[in-house]
Amino acid sequence: MRWAKPDASAEQVRADEEECFHASVHEARARAWTPVAGPVFTPGATGSGSIVLPSGSVVDPYARQMQEEHRLSQVCMEAKGYKLVPAPTK
């Protein structure tokens, strides 16, 4: 797939893609917040305690930000009048 817009030169498409990409990265970073889950000390009934590690699946902390960057970049390009079309085959 590639971005297309009537009467847009290849240079204009590249410039708009770059502008949208940089804007999306900036916006996604401003919105990103990933809580840090580290070991937790849990006190026991006898006064002793233990260290507990968080459980559950581990998610790439950058995956959500990358998805948001992609979404914001796509919204930006569409706002500029571009549409995704199949890329020509060679």
Give residue 46's pLDDT.
67
pLDDT average, residue stretch 29-35? 68
> Considering only CA atoms, which of 64, 82, 67 is closest in space to residue 17?
82
pLDDT in tens, 38-54: 666 666 666 666 666 65
Query: pLDDT tier at 73 (50, 70, 90 boundaries)?
Result: very high
Give residue 72's pLDDT.
92
pLDDT average, residue stretch 51-75? 74
Output the six-digit token pair for 73.
Answer: 């970049």
